[in-house]
Structure 1
Amino acid sequence: MIYRRETYRIRPGMADQLTRYFEECLLPDRLRHGATLVGRWVSESQDEAVAIWAYADREECEQAEATLRHDPRELDRLVTDRRADFLQPTGQYAPPRHILAVSGYITDPDGRVLLVRTAWRSDTWELPGGQVEEGEEPVAALVREIREETGIEAEIHALAGVSYSTSRGGVCNLVFRGAAVGGSLATSAETLEVAFISLSEANLAKFVTRPHFRARVLDAMAGRTVPYEAYRLRPYALIRRTPGA
C-alpha cells in the first residue's frame, strides 16, 4: 500500500468552493479509478487543504492519475499552489477496513449479457457494477451503478457468487443475477462501450480477458444462487430478501 498526499494553497474566500469541487468532482473521479480516501483536512485559517489517498502501489497510482477526468483549470481557479508527495506506512495502527463492491449479471429478453468496457481496463469487457457507498444497501448500489454506467434499468433477482481480493486492503465483491427492465444503452464518463453480448463458455475468454472477471461470469452463468437478505435493527425491519435456487 502506498499513500499520495496532496496539499493545496487555497485562494482567499475559496475554501467552501474547493470543498464542493472536491466532493462533486475529485472524490468520485478518484474512487472510480481505484483510490481510497484516507482523509481530507482544511486548516483553521482555511488557507490550506490536505488530502491523503491510498493505492495498492505506485504503478496503480500513476495509471489512475493518467486517466482522471476532472478539469484542472477549475482547480487552478480555486488554489494558488498544489503539490503531491508519497508516504510509506510504518505499521498497522487502525482496525482493518474492507471495500464492498457489487457486480451484475444482467440479461435481456434474448438471454444476452450486459457488459461494459472501461477506460482504465480497456483490455477487457466485464460485468457492470462498482463500490457500495457507506450506508448503502448492496442491491440498491448495484441498480444505481448499472444505471450510471450503462443507461439500463435492472431488476435484481438473486445472489450468484462472492469473491474476495486481498489487494487495496481487501475488496469483497457480491455478484447478482438480474434482468434488464428498461432504459437504453448509453456510455458514461466511466464506460467506453456498453453492450448486450451473447456469451457462452466457449467464447467468454474472447470478451472477458481477466481471469477474476471470467470467474464471476461463470458463477452467474451456472444459474446457482443463494439467499440474500438485507435488514435494519432496533427495530428490526426487512429491507430485501431474494431466495436461493
Structure 2
Amino acid sequence: MADGQILKKKVEAIWEYKDMDDYYAIQQKVKDDPLFQLAQKNKHSIDQVILEKKEEFLHSTGDYFDSKYSLAACGWIENKQGEVLLVKTEWRSDTYEMPGGIVEEGESIDEACKREIKEETGVEVTLSGITGVYTNETKRHIVFVFAGQYLDGQLSTQSNEIQDCGFFTISKNNMCQYVTRGNFQSRMLDAMSSSSIPLEHFTVRPYTVISRVE
C-alpha cells in the first residue's frame, strides 16, 4: 500500500515443457510439496498479494526438432573377378563388413557412400542402385546399401579406423566365416540375391533430374 493505493506490478513467466503430460506431472509435484501446502493454508491470513492470475499455453508453429534418424550408406562393391570389397574396423574387429559410413551435411547419399569407401579402402567406385534400406533402432540410423563396381585405385588402410580391407570371394556358404554379425549378414544376403533399384535426385517447379543412380 502507498497512500491508500494498491501497487500493481505485472509479472510474466514463460516455462517450456516437453508436452502437456510433462506439465501436469510437474504441477502435481508442486501441489504435493510441503512448502506449497503450507503456503496454501496461510494465504488467507495475509493481505491479498495476487489480484489476478491468468495462464495461457503457447504452441510451436512448426517442427524444429532434429530428425529422429541419421543417414548412413555402405556398398556391395565387386571387382571384375566378382570378389567383394570388405573392411574390418577398429571398433568391430570381430567381423568384416561392407565399407561405408554416415552421410555428412550437404552430401547426397550416394556421394557419401563413395567418399566413405575411398577414405576406408583407398579405391574409387561406381554405384548402380540400392539393394536394401535398413533402420538401426538402437543408434537411430537409416542405412542405405548400394550395389557398385570397383573403378580405380590401390587398396590401402590409410584410415586409423580400419584394421584390414580387401576383395574376398563371398557366397552364401562361406559368408559367415567373414561376416559374424547378423545385421551385416542380412544386408549382404540381400545384396547378393537381389537386383538393385534406382535412386533419383531431383528438384521441382519445374521437375528436373539432378542425377540418377541405377
Instruction: Please report the TM-score for the alignment, with normalisation by the length of structure 2.
Output: 0.66
Q: In structure 2, what is the Cα distance between the partners aligned to 1:223 and 1:114?
A: 18
Alignment-derived partner of residue 52 in structure 2 = none
Unaligned ranges ≥5, structure 2: 1-63
Alignment-derived partner of residue 177 in structure 1 = 147
Q: In structure 2, what is the Cα distance between the partners aligned to 1:210 and 1:155?
A: 26
Deviations 1:126-158 (A, max 9, x none): 000000012211111111000000001000011
Q: How far off is 1:94 after superposition?
A: 4.1
Amino acid at match of 1:242: V
Deviations 1:171-191 (A, max 9, x none): 110000000010010002221
| Distance change in 2, residues 1:155/1:96 (3 Å) | closer
Which of 195, 200, 209 matches 1:229? 200
Which of 181, 199, 210 matches 1:210? 181
Task: Indicate the structure (1 or 2) with the bigger Cα radius of gyration.
Answer: 2
Amino acid at match of 2:123: I
Amino acid at match of 1:179: Q
Amino acid at match of 2:210: I
Which of 126, 140, 147 matches 2:118? 147
Q: In structure 1, what is the Cα distance between the partners aligned to 2:206 and 2:100?
A: 31
Instruction: Write out aligned runs for 1:44-63 (5 A).
Output: none
Percent identical: 42
Instruction: Write out aligned runs for 1:48-87 (5 A).
Output: none
Alignment-derived partner of residue 75 in structure 1 = none
Q: Which has the higher strand share?
A: 1
Q: In structure 1, what is the Cα distance between the partners aligned to 2:172 and 2:119?
A: 28
Q: In structure 2, what is the Cα distance between the partners aligned to 1:220 and 1:242?
A: 16
Task: Name the SS for the 1:206 alignment partner.
Answer: helix
Q: Does 1:138 align with 2:123?
A: no
Q: In structure 2, what is the Cα distance between the partners aligned to 1:233 and 1:193?
A: 43
Alignment-derived partner of residue 125 in structure 1 = 96
Q: Is the CA contact 2:122–2:154 (under 8 Å) kept in the aligned structure 1?
A: yes
Moved more, 144-153 or 229-238: 229-238
Q: In structure 1, what is the Cα distance between the partners aligned to 2:117 and 2:66?
A: 31
Instruction: Write out aligned runs for 1:33-48 (5 A).
Output: none
Instruction: Write out aligned runs for 1:162-201 (5 A).
Output: 162-168=133-139, 170-187=140-157, 188-201=159-172
Task: Name the SS for the 1:167 alignment partner.
Answer: coil
Alignment-derived partner of residue 90 in structure 1 = none
Amino acid at match of 1:186: S
Unaligned ranges ≥5, structure 1: 1-92
Deviations 1:101-150 (A, max 9, x none): 00100001100000000000000000000000122111111110000000
Alignment-derived partner of residue 190 in structure 2 = 219
Which of 67, 72, 85 matches 1:114? 85
Moved more, 231-240 or 200-209: 231-240
Task: Name the SS for the 1:111 alignment partner.
Answer: coil
Q: In structure 2, what is the Cα distance between the partners aligned to 1:237 and 1:136?
A: 18
RMSD: 1.6
Q: In structure 2, what is the Cα distance between the partners aligned to 1:124 and 1:196?
A: 15
Q: In structure 2, what is the Cα distance between the partners aligned to 1:128 and 1:134?
A: 19
